[in-house]
Chains A and B, each alone.
Chain A
Amino acid sequence: MRPHPRLAAAALLPLLTGCTGPQSALDPQGPNAASLAWLIWTFTAVCGLVWLLVLLTVGIALWRRRASSGAADEPLRPESATERRKQGVVIGAVVATVLIIATLTLMSFVATRSLTASSGEPLTVRLRGYQWWWEVTYTADSPDRFVTAANEIRVPVGRPVRLELSSGDVIHSFWVPSLAGKQDMIPGRDNVLTFTAERPGSYRAQCAEFCGMQHARMALVVIAMAAPEFESWLDAQRQPAAEPADEEQEAGRQVATGKACAACHTIRGTRAAGTVGPDLTHVGSRQTIAAGTLPTTRGALGAWIADPQTVKPGNKMPMVPLSADELRAVSAYMAGLK
């Protein structure tokens, strides 16, 4: 089944303006999303056609008879011959409806089957949803080689990824439209989603199940990279946190491990071992912080730590009172945690 989204797109060009973005079901970048896009276009074409036909018939029905002047008109008594003829046509239309929906049902069944099929040894990643961020754990043959990160999933190109989805609080839903359909993360009921990225690139994802105050700011990036690059990146992530490069960063580490931060965050290689918030061991290497809210720059880190409740009202990180110097130092340190 070789999809032709471009062809269908050309036919529906006026609707398509702006349809390609970083997070779009119509911009497939993997086999799953591609066959889904194909399905979407086919359904749209069939249903659109049926819709046109129905409306056309309504139009003709109105057009073929002289309009009546209204209430005073003597009502018509239908003739049995024409009524019988129409009965035949209606039955025909019903039969056509049955055939069309049977075909559509079959197609969607076949598509479901093709989605679950995957080839090759998958990479298993655990994704756990929290209000309102994502915890990502890359599994390995032994648990002590597991790597925990947050709000960003890196995957090797061409290799299937098996995501084990779970939730730490309420229901969330994982959805990268460019790669695959969505799958809910439900407390007490773990789910699995398998997908493959075909091309390197970064794909935006967003929590799709309403999960409370900051459901709107619970995004995630999936970054697909060439397999060797991915391996070396994963190795780097396995390392403990980078040592401070200068005095300011050193002071920052003091703040991060001495203040309340350590109660919630883990920075491997330091005393900070909290598990309430995201693992910060390599926070500086991630593209965004606070689940897609801000880019990971030193300034943004400073703004976030200074007052998380203004940046993302209601999120679970409180404002920790810090002096200006402490703030500067800790954001420098965080930015350096590559």
Chain B
Amino acid sequence: MSAASSPPLDIDIRHEELDGRLAETWRTRPGFWGALATVDHKVIGRRYIATAFVFLILGGILALAMRWQLARPEGRLVSPDLYNQIFTMHGANMMFLFAVPVMEAMAVYLVPLMLGTRNIAFPRLNAFSYWIYLAGGILLWVSFALNMGPDIGWFGYVPLSGPQFSPGKRADIWAQMITFTEIAALAVAVEIVVTVFKQRAPGMTLDRIPLFVWAMLVTSFLVMLAMPAIMVASTSLILDRLVGTHFYNPAEGGDVLLWQHLFWFFGHPEVYIIFLPATGMISSMLPAFVRRPVFGYLPLVLSMVTIGILSFGLWVHHMFTTGLPRLGESFFTASSMAIAVPAGVQIFCWIATIWDGRPVYRTPFLFILAFFFTFVLGGMTGVMVASVPLDTQVHDTYFVVAHFHYVLIGGAVFPLMAAIYFWYPKMVGRMMSERIGRWVAGLTFVGFNLAFFPMHILGLQGMPRRIYTYQTDVPWSGLNLFVSLSTVILAAGFLLFFIDAVRSARRGEPAGENPWGAPSLEWATTSPPPPYNFARIPVVTGRNPLWDERGDMPVASGLRVDRRELLITSVADAIPEARDSSPRDSIWPFWAAIATSAMLIGSIFSPWAVVWGSIPVAITLVGWFWPKGTPEDDA
């Protein structure tokens, strides 16, 4: 199959020259168009992460507005209409534009490096995913700025979100924003599954895959099985609103609870889509900070898989007060509580890892400790609300608000911040400040607990959620004031975090390849990694490659340098099967994203936008896939 004048292989090239040749093949072209056309997973991953954090700031500022409004009874900072937009924006933004994407984004950056490959599978789809995500975020926030922000809560219950009770375009914008973020998430899920299946370094058998990668694999399957539910739900809602179908109209044979079933069939796995990557991060970071391999690799993998499977069997626990048959509901109590078992297994394994390790008290580890404190508490309140009778008292109150912030912030954001402190040196090449990091950990931990713990009590005292104010004759004002003031501590912690992240990009200590002495493959290349990640593909002989192979790193050679070439290995045992090409940079994913966005936004206003809008989409897709005669195209 090889051509007459055989193309250059890495073995034919002097070692000093190799980096230059590979860089020439893999690099992102400089300039504006180069930046739009790039398909480098590291560039896109960084972009994705930064964008998600911008949405965290925006959502956080909304949270501060809510807390200001609720600090005193009969608050007058915002009108009821604006408050309803704010809490909906806060919830939808945090879930759809921050928490899920940021986890996907970390994976886009880290998974190929951890697997020892040169780019993610389907890199152009990856670029497309980012642009679609960005467009969805812009759609939501521009609408909010134009006073068209959704005001129906992050789960948009019908009939309130239906044509009769939400005239105007607010609900459509919410539903369509979901379509954008779902497309983006589904794209990343497909890429990750295929990357993990086919692009692992030789020798990385299934039982040597880093735990973060396992977490992302399970998460990707959750995305693919759960997100179609919200697509079905939001599409049928848009149809009800736009062309007069009756999915949710009880007068014409539709059903109001159908929405809740569909939403939560997605919504419950969604929270584990956020949580599982975080647990993967913990498992992957912990060894570096206790100086020993993680305890219980197999149980950790199995518990992630179990959580993934169980998560499809609990959606009704969000509907305990809707009057479904009691016996059925009790089943969901049992299944919800059962999640405590795999979650517990994870916690126990981590503690066992720490047990005879030697702790290194650096910032990421402090965040991991904050995670233990906070997440386990949130898990306990999860077990409480899983009880049907108990939930009838606390459902839709601040008790639930407390529960989910404990698990979301304690269970996902704290590990995420640990992960940023941990992998920032890899991404940027410089360390974040240890001194500031301690302050960030302290302020966010203390601020968070002071702000959110009292919400449990408020909930039990009868304070419902989603109220823009409360009267003076209910005894909630003291605790609310306390909560609001504590939020300032939390916000200060976040502010310091962002300052540190921005400052360290220029002034941080240079990091070196492996500043934490960590065992996984991403630390085997320079910080930040070159465009091609690894000059030679690493060969894996154990679960902790950099610890198992002290001294020198076994690698494989024989890949071409004149085209973007990477290694395809078998699914189970990672035995090399082929050297395949990875697509070049292309501007078409960007145009395809623009065309798709135009079509989706247009369809809020007229069903014909789908018909006419599909033409430019088709054109851009042809441009995307049409072979250009580059070395990557032939085989």
* A116 in complex: contacting residue of B80, B326, B393, CB < 8 Å: B326
With contacts A18-B475, A73-B291, A98-B341 taken as known, whether A183 is within 8 angstroms of B460 at the C-beta atoms is no
Q: B80: shortest Cβ distance to chain A, in Å? A: 5
Q: Are A216 and B80 in contact (CB under 8 A)?
A: yes
Q: Are B160 and A109 in contact (CB under 8 A)?
A: no
Q: Are A105 and B337 in contact (CB under 8 A)?
A: yes
Q: Are B517 and A292 in contact (CB under 8 A)?
A: no
Confirm or deny: B243 has a beta carbon within 8 angstroms of a beta carbon on chain A: no
Complex-state Cα separation, A264 to B333, whole angstroms: 44
- Chain B residues positioned under 8 Å from A186 (CB to CB): 256-257, 322-323
For chain A, residues 214 to 269, give those with C-beta under 8 angstroms from any C-beta of chain B.
Answer: 214-216, 219
Confirm or deny: A54 has a beta carbon within 8 angstroms of a beta carbon on chain B: yes
* A76 in complex: contacting residue of B160, B323, B358, B469, CB < 8 Å: B358
Q: A192: shortest Cβ distance to chain B, in Å? A: 8
- Chain B residues positioned under 8 Å from A77 (CB to CB): 292
Confirm or deny: A147 has a beta carbon within 8 angstroms of a beta carbon on chain B: no
Q: Are A71 and B341 in contact (CB under 8 A)?
A: no
- Chain A residues positioned under 8 Å from B165 (CB to CB): 131, 169-170, 212
**Please, what's the 1-or-0 string for A59-77, where 1 marks a CB less than 8 Å from any CB in chain B?**
0011011111111111111
- Chain B residues positioned under 8 Å from A43 (CB to CB): 383-384, 387, 390
Confirm or deny: A19 has a beta carbon within 8 angstroms of a beta carbon on chain B: yes
Q: Are A24 and B390 in contact (CB under 8 A)?
A: no
Confirm or deny: A104 has a beta carbon within 8 angstroms of a beta carbon on chain B: yes
Confirm or deny: A321 has a beta carbon within 8 angstroms of a beta carbon on chain B: no
For chain B, residues 71 to 104, give those with C-beta under 8 angstroms from any C-beta of chain A.
Answer: 79-81, 84
- Chain A residues positioned under 8 Å from B466 (CB to CB): 210, 215-216
Complex-state Cα separation, A249 to B362, whole angstroms: 77
With contacts A111-B389, A171-B160, A207-B464 taken as known, whether A216 is within 8 angstroms of B469 at the C-beta atoms is yes
20 other contacts beyond A51-B377, A73-B360, with CB at 8 A cut-off?
A: A18-B479, A19-B457, A25-B394, A33-B393, A40-B393, A48-B380, A51-B380, A58-B351, A67-B360, A68-B291, A70-B516, A75-B287, A76-B291, A90-B345, A101-B337, A105-B333, A189-B250, A208-B396, A216-B468, A216-B469
- Chain A residues positioned under 8 Å from B547 (CB to CB): 75
**For residue A116, which residue of chain B has the nearest CB?**
B326
Confirm or deny: B519 has a beta carbon within 8 angstroms of a beta carbon on chain A: yes
Confirm or deny: A181 has a beta carbon within 8 angstroms of a beta carbon on chain B: yes
Q: Are B384 and A47 in contact (CB under 8 A)?
A: yes
Q: A81: shortest Cβ distance to chain B, in Å? A: 11
For chain A, residues 174 to 189, give those with C-beta under 8 angstroms from any C-beta of chain B.
Answer: 175, 177, 180-184, 186-189
- Chain B residues positioned under 8 Å from A18 (CB to CB): 461, 475, 478-479
Q: Are B293 and A78 in contact (CB under 8 A)?
A: yes
- Chain A residues positioned under 8 Å from B391 (CB to CB): 181
How many B residues touch A, CB cutoff 8 Å?
100
* B321 in complex: contacting residue of A109, A181, A216, CB < 8 Å: A181
Q: Are B389 and A108 in contact (CB under 8 A)?
A: yes
Q: Are A90 and B296 in contact (CB under 8 A)?
A: yes
For chain B, residues 401 to 426, give those with C-beta under 8 angstroms from any C-beta of chain A.
Answer: none
- Chain B residues positioned under 8 Å from A67 (CB to CB): 358-361
Confirm or deny: A57 has a beta carbon within 8 angstroms of a beta carbon on chain B: yes
With contacts A171-B160, A216-B469 taken as known, whether A47 is within 8 angstroms of B462 at the C-beta atoms is no
Complex-state Cα separation, A263 to B475, whole angstroms: 38
* B337 in complex: contacting residue of A72, A104, A216, A313, CB < 8 Å: A104
- Chain A residues positioned under 8 Å from B457 (CB to CB): 15, 19
> Which 4 pairs from chain A and chain B are nearest by CB?
A181-B392, A188-B250, A71-B517, A68-B358
Confirm or deny: B110 has a beta carbon within 8 angstroms of a beta carbon on chain A: no
With contacts A39-B389, A70-B360, A210-B153 taken as known, whether A171 is within 8 angstroms of B355 at the C-beta atoms is no
* A112 in complex: contacting residue of B152, B251, B355, B388, CB < 8 Å: B388
- Chain A residues positioned under 8 Å from B359 (CB to CB): 62, 65, 67-68
Q: List 29 A-B contacts (CB under 8 A).
A: A19-B457, A35-B389, A43-B383, A51-B377, A67-B358, A67-B361, A70-B362, A71-B518, A75-B544, A90-B296, A94-B345, A97-B341, A101-B337, A108-B387, A108-B388, A109-B330, A170-B159, A170-B160, A171-B159, A180-B392, A181-B392, A186-B323, A187-B256, A188-B255, A189-B250, A208-B396, A212-B84, A216-B469, A314-B81
Q: Are A97 and B340 in contact (CB under 8 A)?
A: yes
Complex-state Cα separation, A36 to B385, whole angstroms: 12
**Please, what's the 1-or-0 string for A110-137, where 1 marks a CB less than 8 Å from any CB in chain B?**
0110011000000000000001000000
Complex-state Cα separation, A247 to B491, whole angstroms: 61
**Please, what's the 1-or-0 string for A180-209, where 1 marks a CB less than 8 Å from any CB in chain B?**
111110111101100000000000101111
Confirm or deny: B376 has a beta carbon within 8 angstroms of a beta carbon on chain A: yes
- Chain B residues positioned under 8 Å from A111 (CB to CB): 387, 389-390
Q: B153: shortest Cβ distance to chain A, in Å? A: 5
